[in-house]
A and B are shown apart, each in its own frame.
Chain A
Amino acid sequence: MFQRSDPPDITITWDGRELPARSGESLATALLAAGVLSFRETPVSGAARGPLCLMGACFDCLVEVEGQQNVQACMTPVHPGLRAAPQHGVRDLPEVEAA
């Protein structure tokens, strides 16, 4: 579907699987280039979702990055060894210490 203009030079991990990426590109770009179209399921209907705007506005490309949920893949630059996974359902907020 997408074709790279420049070759990949690093490796990232998506859902436990290694994928090629290129330094400086966004996680959304790396996933699309690797043929990943479904980034998450919307908690409203359960339907698959992927990037739409690729510029930080639509919040459709949410994924889990390094254990952090609901991260916008289009706004996340890749780095070697970055670990990401699909966002399943809504985000759970962590427990907090009482102020």
Chain B
Amino acid sequence: MERYDVAVIGGGMVGTAIGYGCAERGARVIVLDEGDVALRAARGNFGLVWGQSKGDGMPAYGAWTRLSITLWPSLAERVSGFAGRDVCYSPVGGLTFCLSEQELAERRDFVHRRHNQGHGTVRIVDRRELLEMMPGCRLGPEVVGASYDPTDGHVDPLTLLRGLHAGLRAAGGVHLPGAPVVAIEPVGGEYRIARADGAAVMARRIVVAAGVATTRIAAMVGLDVPVRPVRGQNIVTERLAPILPKPASAIRQTGDGTIQIGVTSEDDGILETPTTTAALAKMAARAIRVLPPLASARMVRGWAALRPMTPDGFPAYAESATHPGCFVAVCHSGVTLAAVHAGPMAEAVMGGGMHALAAELHPDRFARMPIQHVPAI
């Protein structure tokens, strides 16, 4: 049986980033992935690298996010090289548009809370400043202002995933897709991981990064991590001449010129990924209020993906108390957090100790908490 230093269970954005980080640090790594039937959140990311909205009520998450953003430029350069194409990381500042005075007032309160919790880079800008910041941008008349964070940006999430996988392989790591993990058992200081297709590997360390399947697999290593699926629908248009210079929450223009419009937050617990006309129409209608010329843009595709959501909406990281060397990592911001996952989190898995901020995001907190239904942002 093949033996590895680290077996990562989950080949999505979170697992691949951690696996790549471990392989780059010299570990012999295997990433065990499910088949194409997997409910892959990593195929449905919006692509924001985003701090302004992260961590209201959990300052450690805000700081963890900011740490990732500071590590992103280096990650972007490396993954672009591995992917063989530019990951289009563009830290040009990000916006959350407000379409009424009431929305702007609520956003102003939110920004105050962010400041009080240590996130000082976000601020409110009025319509005049928005137009100065984006000369010639054809904003709709209802746009009264926005929150703006100059450290935010966006990236091509599919190229990021491809680059992380390529980086894993370049560092000698193995990606083994095809079947879910069905059992993990300790054997003489190591772990034997068995899959539904009969394959099995031995590993000294394990990372459970299995998205919406995390609860089931984390339980195999003594970790209680409640995760539920929250569906997000996306729209992408035909390629257009530059029309929106900065990415915004729920609307951005990609490096290739398409407009991506998001995104719903459907918390119905159903493990399926349909799109619905009602949701797509609602998203499109708001995008047109932000940028009226989009009314004549053609939609090319709509799709949905399931975010793994914890009870409070914040990430969860831990090493198992009963199964030493076994870790869990789950979040709904795999793109923004890719840089900390490939860095400090990989170091923790290699035995370097959990980063202080990640340690504050231990899933033990859920035992004291009723299920909350929080919007994904």
Residues of A within 8 A of B (CB): 43-44, 59, 62, 70, 89-96, 98-99
Contact = CB atoms under 8 A, between A and B. Distances in A.
Given A43-B256, A93-B243, A70 B238 contact: yes
Interface string B285-311: 000000011111110100000000000
A91 B240 contact: yes
B295 A90 contact: no
Contacts of B127: none
B285 to A, nearest CB: 11
A91 B141 contact: no
Contact of B295 (A70, A91, A96): A96
B241 interface: yes
A48 B292 CA distance: 31
Interface residues of B, number: 18
Interface string B238-258: 111101000000000000110
A98 B140 contact: yes
Nearest to A94: B296
Given A43-B256, A43-B257, A59-B300, A89 B293 contact: no
A49 to B, nearest CB: 12
Contacts of B240: 90-93
A99 B241 contact: no
Interface in B261-289: none
Nearest to B142: A99
Given A90-B241, A91-B241, A96-B296, 7 more contacts: A43-B239, A70-B298, A92-B240, A93-B243, A93-B293, A93-B294, A96-B295
A57 to B, nearest CB: 10
A42 to B, nearest CB: 9
B286 to A, nearest CB: 13
B239 A70 contact: yes
Given A70-B298, A99-B292, A93 B241 contact: yes
B141 A95 contact: no
Contacts of B295: 96
Nearest to A95: B293
A59 B292 contact: no
B139 to A, nearest CB: 10
Contacts of B140: 98-99
B239 A90 contact: yes
Contacts of A89: 241
Contact of B292 (A44, A92, A96): A96
Contacts of A92: 240-241
B257 A90 contact: yes
Nearest to B297: A93
B155 to A, nearest CB: 16
14 contacts: A43-B239, A62-B238, A70-B238, A70-B298, A89-B241, A90-B239, A91-B241, A92-B240, A93-B243, A94-B293, A96-B138, A96-B292, A96-B296, A98-B140
A59 B300 CA distance: 8
Contacts of A93: 240-241, 243, 293-294, 296-297
Nearest to A97: B292
A98 B97 CA distance: 18
A71 to B, nearest CB: 9
Contact of B238 (A44, A59, A96, A98): A59
Nearest to A91: B240
A46 to B, nearest CB: 13
Nearest to B243: A93
Given A44-B256, A99-B140, A91 B292 contact: no
B203 to A, nearest CB: 40
A90 B257 CA distance: 7
B77 to A, nearest CB: 20
A29 B134 CA distance: 43
Contacts of A98: 140-141, 292
B260 to A, nearest CB: 15
A88 to B, nearest CB: 11
Contacts of B256: 43-44
A90 B300 CA distance: 14
**Complex A-B, nearest 3 residue pairs according to Cβ-Cβ distance, in ascending order:** A93-B293, A90-B257, A90-B239
A70 B240 CA distance: 9
